[in-house]
Amino acid sequence: MSTAMNFGNKVFKPRAPDKGAFPLDHFGECKNFKDKYMNCLRENSYENSMCREQSKQYLECRMDRQLMTKEPLQKLGFKDLLDE
């Protein structure tokens, strides 16, 4: 008597990734921006508030290259860094 597993009963329903989940930068398109941000963090004892400009530039790079959904920078918390 063989036991067959029937996986046909379950239907996989894809869903959009959670906020903050986005594709990896496989081609290193934003590597320089990431490196600048990581260096800034190391130099400032990982105090991310000291590296907001680098963080903004990194996210802009990702959005420009469609590695994450384009969002207004104000919505991402960079309103104070924007030129009026």
Residue 83 to residue 66: CA distance in whole angstroms: 23
pLDDT at residue 24, rounded to an integer: 81
CB of 51 closer than 8 Å to CB of 41: yes
Instruction: Report residue 63 CA to chain centroid gap.
Output: 9
pLDDT digits (tens, 9 = 90+) for 40-72: 999 999 999 999 999 999 999 999 998 888 999
